[in-house]
Amino acid sequence: MTATYTLTDHGITCHLCGFSSANPNDMRERYCGHCHVFHEDLDIVLRELSALEPMGPIGYRPETVLQLVGLIQLALRHPAVTQAIRATGVRFIEAAREYFAACPAVLDVIRRGDDAREDL
């Protein structure tokens, strides 16, 4: 598992976006003000993902499944999505929720993805 940040005596650097901060609160909380990510929460998600076997006959890696869920959640917000496509997207997301049943931090990320107010 790759670390998502680097912490030194001088600051914290996010490996997701490259942003660095010398703010003591950001350093203490392992927080990226640019991504709005608490890295310790992200580390929990990454540990849960690394413990899973690939999903389905295609063998999607857990990180890929989570990325696809996020893309589908965003796509389902588009006003021109047909009911048939919406049903396919919802089925995939529900299958992913079952796949991640033992991963509460991942399920929280998926739950937050259902809420358009969480979009960045």
CA–CA gap between residue 17 and residue 34 (Å, rounded): 8
For 20-33, write each residue's pLDDT tens digit.
999 999 999 999 99
For 65-109, write each residue's pLDDT tens digit.
999 999 999 999 999 999 999 999 999 999 999 999 999 999 999
What is the predicted pLDDT for the residue at 55? 75
CA–CA gap between residue 36 and residue 12 (Å, rounded): 13
What is the predicted pLDDT for the residue at 2? 61
Q: Are 62 and 50 in contact (CB under 8 A)?
A: yes
3-state helix, strand, coil in the chain (%, to 5): 50, 10, 35
- Report the DSSP beta bridge partners of residue 90: none
